[in-house]
Amino acid sequence: MSAPTEVLSRRDLALLRAVRVGRAELVCGRRPHLLVDGLHVCDQDTAALTGLIAPAIPGQVGMRVLAQLTDAGTRALEATA
Mean pLDDT of the region 54-69? 95
Please tell me the predicted confidence (pLDDT) of residue 78. 92
- Listed in sequence order, the DSSP H helices in the chain are 10-20, 71-80
Share of the chain above pLDDT 70, in %: 85
Model pLDDT for residues 5-26, shown as the tens digit of each residue: 457 888 889 999 999 999 999 9
pLDDT exceeds cutoff 60 at 33: yes
Mean pLDDT of the region 32-61? 84
Query: Dihedral sign, CA of 28, 30, 77, 10?
Result: negative
Backbone angles phi, psi at 14, to 5 degrees: -65, -40
Q: Domain limits of the chain?
A: 5-80
